[in-house]
Amino acid sequence: MPVNVWTMAATLAGGLGLFLLGMTMMTDGLKLAAGPALERILASATRTRWHALGSGVLVTTLVQSSTAVTVAAIGFVNAGLMTLAPALWVLFGANVGTTMTGWIVALVGLKFDIEALALPLIGVGVALRLSGGNGRRAAIGDALAGFGMLFLGIALLQQAFGGLSEQVALPTGTGPWAVLAQVLGGVVLTLLTQSSSASMAIALTAAQGGLLTAQSAAAVVIGANIGTTATAILVAVGATPNARRAAAAHVAFNVLTGAVALVLLPWLVQGIADMRQAMGLAPDPAIRLALFHTCFNVLGVLLMWPLAGALTRWLQQRFRAAEEDEAQPQHLDDTVLAVPTLALDALEREIERAGHVAVRAARAALAGADAAAVGREERIVAQLDTAVDAFVERVSRAQMPRRSAERLARALRVQRYQQTVAEEAAEAARLRPLPDSRAPQLPSEQAFVQAAAAVLALADPLPEAGAAADQAALDAAVAQALDAYQALKAALLDAGATGMLHMAPMELALRRHSALRRAIEQAAKAARLRHAPRRQDPEPAAARGDIA
């Protein structure tokens, strides 16, 4: 007897291992085979709730990994390609898309001759893998082989549960403590396997093998869904604010849905049985459970539908970073739109804030800050510019006198100069030499850094943060910085020609300091334009070529 139990336990462990390995191979292969198509779907098909929800369902169904979809959605939010609101619906759709695994197990894995289906898939998949190199054919081969191993894992799980049903009694009662034990069992299974799909497969095969009743298996499924939140919480520890917001939304979705489903569990299970009968599906416990899993997640979407707006607003106020707070406009208020002069005052003050951050980014790049630090400053400028653009669209709808229109055009040109400052600063930071670089320190480099810093101090749009604005002093500082740049450029080329500096570090240094030169030039142009007398027409077409 003990030998049989150990054998069945080993079979259970091996089946679960094959299932997880197959799921991993299938997911990775599908992601590689799909390529950028999945990213295009997520980035473009999120215009409405329905589009975002459908994208989450479709992409998760294709790659069989809600984790991959979640990570991609968070990445798009951080990159500014998707706002938080549609990202939440992608995540909710991903929960619905994971139900496809249950249907695969119930309709295919438990119905067909596993060896007749799985072994050919593994054979074809390995052949494609060996002959495909690193291309899409190899990725498709991985997906097919993973699919086959997944089915072999299901077969071993069936075998293990078929033997265990005669020797092991799982909690199958309907009382509160029994249901709680079943839910906790689902949570623990998901924590141990790090896969709700694996927990679902175990629950399906256990129900099919007679170890669990329909209601008990449904409680395990609820626990598995709740268990996925632990992974999301762990992933969000120390992550970006948007990652933590997405994780919090994932937790809210699963916990709320699980709580409601537990309260309605007996009625849901009976309703699912009636639905299965009305749909003409076979009276198998696995099919009934797969249907419950789908309805359970669809119920979550319906519950979140009226709450999503409030949830998004609540999340936006949580997990805030200093960067995000600074990226929020402080002066743009729609109440001033009726008075163009007041609207332009607010607009110019906001553009000055963005300009201060852009100059700060250039200073950081000049001082040798890393790309991440300067990139944060660039993102602040980009977000402020987005808010400014939206405000300008609303301002431009109103009639305004010619002088106000000229003032608006001038402000937009200043904004464009400042955008270039931040972009060039970020580019210079990306070209920063490695810390262990053995490039010689050139005296002309220090001279250029000092001269460029003087320009940025004079070009800073906030008087309390920089030197007093003086046109003559600014022009003199710019001329000195350009002379220092030319001297540095000649010194770098000479160092490369004489062998003091290898060609690759020389090219890197030239590109870096060229980006810094462009940044200080654009900062100076913005400063000149800001302080030019308003009664004069701004320099018309000439500067436009400078910033294109």
Which range scores top for mean pLDDT: 2-16, 258-272, 316-330, 463-477? 258-272
Tens-place pLDDT, residues 360-416? 999 999 988 888 889 888 988 988 888 888 888 888 777 777 888 888 899 999 999
Average pLDDT, the chain: 76
Please give the pLDDT value at position 515.
Answer: 93
Residue 281: band (very low, low, confident or very high) from pLDDT cuts 50, 70, 90:
low
Residue 345: which of 411, 390, 271, 400 has the closest Cα? 411
Higher confidence at residue 209 or residue 125?
Answer: 125
User: What is the average pLDDT across 3-30?
Assistant: 71
Q: 67: which 2 tokens?
A: 């984790």
Which range scores top for mean pLDDT: 56-70, 133-147, 369-383? 369-383
Residue 544: band (very low, low, confident or very high) from pLDDT cuts 50, 70, 90:
very low
Please give the pLDDT value at position 66.
Answer: 67
Residue 231: band (very low, low, confident or very high) from pLDDT cuts 50, 70, 90:
low
Please give the pLDDT value at position 165.
Answer: 45
Task: Count each helix (H run) and each strand (E run) in the chain, helices first.
Answer: 23, 0
User: What is the average pLDDT across 29-47?
Assistant: 62
Please give the pLDDT value at position 534.
Answer: 55
Percent of the residues in the chain that have a pLDDT greater than 70, as a whole number: 73
Please give the pLDDT value at position 540.
Answer: 40
Compute, in degrees rounded to 10, the torsion defined by CA atoms 187, 191, 192, 195: 100
Tens-place pLDDT, residues 97-131? 877 777 776 666 555 555 666 778 888 888 888 88
DSSP, residue by residue, 325-354: HHTS-SS--GGGTTSHHHHHHHHHHHHHHH
Quick check: 436 pLDDT over 80? no
User: What is the average pLDDT across 221-244?
Assistant: 71
Please give the pLDDT value at position 3.
Answer: 44
| Range of weakest confidence among 266-275, 496-505, 518-527 | 266-275
**What does each C-alpha distance from 173 to 114, 200, 262, 300 come to in angstroms?**
32, 20, 14, 25
Quick check: 232 pLDDT over 80? no
Q: 390: which 2 tokens?
A: 């939206």
Higher confidence at residue 33 or residue 61?
Answer: 61
Reduced to 3 states (helix: H, G, I; strand: E, B; else coil), residue 501 is: coil
Residue 234: band (very low, low, confident or very high) from pLDDT cuts 50, 70, 90:
low
Quick check: 525 pLDDT over 80? yes
Residues sharing a CB contact under 8 Å with residue 387, sequence separation 6 or more, in sequence order: 328, 329, 332, 350
Round to whole Å and give the CA distance between 512 and 365. Answer: 9
Please give the pLDDT value at position 414.
Answer: 93
User: What is the average pLDDT across 240-265?
Assistant: 81
Higher confidence at residue 113 or residue 537?
Answer: 113
Quick check: 35 pLDDT over 60? no
Percent of the residues in the chain that have a pLDDT greater than 90, as a whole number: 13
User: What is the average pLDDT across 226-238?
Assistant: 68
List b or e across 250-279, with b for residues whose CB sees 16 or more CB atoms inside 10 angstroms.
Answer: bbbbbebbbebbbeebeebbeebeeebeee
Residue 196: band (very low, low, confident or very high) from pLDDT cuts 50, 70, 90:
low
Helix, strand, coil: what percent of the chain each, to 5?
80, 0, 20
Amino acid letter at 479?
A
Reduced to 3 states (helix: H, G, I; strand: E, B; else coil), residue 26 is: helix
Round to whole Å and give the CA distance between 540 and 491. Answer: 37
Please give the pLDDT value at position 343.
Answer: 82
Tens-place pLDDT, residues 447-489? 999 999 999 998 988 865 445 557 888 889 999 999 999 998 9
Number of Cβ atoms within 10 Å of the Cβ of 426: 25
Please give the pLDDT value at position 173.
Answer: 61
Q: Residue 436: phi, psi to the nearest 5? A: -95, 15
Q: 440: which 2 tokens?
A: 């010689």
Amino acid letter at 352?
E
Please give the pLDDT value at position 177.
Answer: 78
Round to whole Å and give the CA distance between 41 and 210. Answer: 41
Please give the pLDDT value at position 363.
Answer: 92
Question: Does pTM surpass 0.75?
Answer: no
Quick check: 169 pLDDT over 50? no
Tens-place pLDDT, residues 495-509? 888 888 888 888 888
> Which long-range contacts does 243-248 make (Cβ < 8 Å, 24+ apart)?
243/74, 243/78, 244/318, 244/319, 245/84, 245/315, 245/316, 245/318, 245/319, 246/70, 246/73, 246/74, 246/77, 246/84, 246/87, 246/88, 246/91, 248/315, 248/318, 248/319
Tens-place pLDDT, residues 171-190? 556 677 777 887 887 787 77
